[in-house]
Amino acid sequence: MKILVLNCGSSSVKYRLFASPGRAAGSPPETSAKGLIERIGEPGGEAADHAAALQQVMETVDLSGLGAVGHRVVHGGSLFSAATVIDDKVVTAIEGLVPLAPLHNPPALSGIAVARKLLPEVPQVAVFDTAFHQSIAPDGVTYAIDADLAARWQVRRYGFHGTSHAYVARRTAELLGLPLDDAKVITLHLGNGASACAVHGGRSVATSMGLSPLSGLVMGTRSGDIDPTVIFHLHRVAGLPIEEIERSLTRGGGLQGLAGANDMREIQRRRTDGEPAATLAFDVYCRRLREYVGSYLALLGGADAITFTAGVGENSAEVRAASLSGLSALGIEVDPARNEHGDRIISPDGARVKVCVVPTDEEAEIAEQARKAVET
Ligand code: ADP
């Protein structure tokens, strides 16, 4: 069955066509076409709007025999715990979640509307970044704030990057020959956005992002965890408007805020040159990772594996080594040669906790989930 995966951002449409998303362990999914249409709606952009962009996709790729379209949707709130075949009710529900994801859900809705119109015969499936984390127990998603306020305004932890964490945890179990049903894996998705997840038996039991993708790890431009009083202080004492504080924490925080660059490669170069700001940024980033790993080891009662993925996780031997240093008493070690060499398993032979590097593939996972949703 052919499956088209669409990832619609505010000004871009990413697409990938899978000839056969079903795959055996270790074999890569088969992609027959992919592309990116950028600067939608901008002067000189590649398309006037999402409808024009999707029209382009359909003219470029051979969609004969298409079995489903899988749409990446960032926020599924508390409503969606799995990939869901889209009908009018599902669209209304995703619209209702726009206040929780004002930047992310509207472009996905445009993509869904256009694809339903252009491909009325093909089932459309929404695959949510939040869905995987719906398995987290109430004590893991509840903030200790006024319970009535929280219920009224849907304030709780949702978590994101779910498709990536699910995919990478499963791949880790395959790589290590562990039954997924009782494997305990800590997955570290370190891209521009970054999050940690504790996975037990293929289910998310904890994750570092919360109501929004701002909390948890230090990211390219996002602060990750801070004391909320920072916001009141910047508002009351520094006189900054709330919008400016939000912009600062989301676009001007993280590595960007600490060292003026969001790219880990630049941070590493400048750290090697001995620059103090880049060195501190790197250290804050890695320490936060270690704190989350420790916390998830405690929650899981030990782990079979810790897996790094996404741009930084897959490529930065420095971050992998620094973030897990000093943990040998917990059975966690990184073999320097394997780490530098880019091996898939970078812990020494016989290590109690395997440390792995597994490339993520969110689109392949979306295709796989879309296929399952239309087949059931
Ligand atoms: P996104 O979250 O946008 O999908 P990626 O997963 O592609 O991002 O990760 C992007 C980040 O990966 C870049 O900002 C960069 O910091 C980091 N990165 C890519 N290659 C390397 C590398 N060789 N060493 C260290 N960091 C890298």
**Which atom of ligand 1 lies nearest, measured to the CA of 192?**
2
Q: Whose CA is nearest to atom 23 of ligand 1?
A: 315
User: In this model, does residue 343 exceed pLDDT 80?
Assistant: yes
Q: pLDDT digits over 303-332, tens only? A: 999 999 999 999 999 999 999 999 999 999
Q: How many beta carbons lie within 10 A of that of residue 321, not counting itself?
A: 17
Is residue 265 within 6 Å of ligand 1 at its C-beta? yes
The Cα–Cα gap between 336 and 318 comes to 10
The Cα–Cα gap between 230 and 79 comes to 32
> What is the CA(249)–ligand 1 centre distance, in A?
20
Is residue 220 within 6 Å of ligand 1 at its C-beta? yes
Q: Whose CA is nearest to atom 8 of ligand 1?
A: 191
**Is CATH 3.40.50.410 the classification given to domain 2-128?**
no
The Cα–Cα gap between 357 and 189 comes to 10
Q: pLDDT digits over 140-178, tens only? A: 999 999 999 999 999 999 999 999 999 999 999 999 999
**CA count, 13 A, side-chain hemisphere, 319:** 31
At 221, the pLDDT band (50, 70, 90 cuts) reads very high
129 is catalytic: yes
Q: How far apart are the first and last CA of the chain?
A: 14
User: In this model, does residue 25 exceed pLDDT 90?
Assistant: no
| Token duo for residue 277 | 């700001």
> What is the CA(192)–ligand 1 centre distance, in A?
6
SS3 of 306, please? Answer: strand
| Token duo for residue 76 | 């599924």
The Cα–Cα gap between 186 and 263 comes to 24
Q: What is the mean pLDDT of the chain?
A: 95
Residues of the chain with CATH 3.30.420.40: 2-128, 179-357
| Token duo for residue 59 | 């003219």
Q: How many beta carbons lie within 10 A of that of residue 171, not counting itself?
A: 24
User: In this model, does residue 9 exceed pLDDT 70?
Assistant: yes
Q: pLDDT digits over 51-110, tens only? A: 899 889 988 888 889 999 999 999 999 999 999 999 999 999 999 999 999 988 999 999
> What is the CA(229)–ligand 1 centre distance, in A?
31
Record the pTM. 0.95
Q: What is the dotted CATH code of the domain comprising 179-357?
A: 3.30.420.40
Mean pLDDT computed over 336-352:
97
At 41, the pLDDT band (50, 70, 90 cuts) reads confident
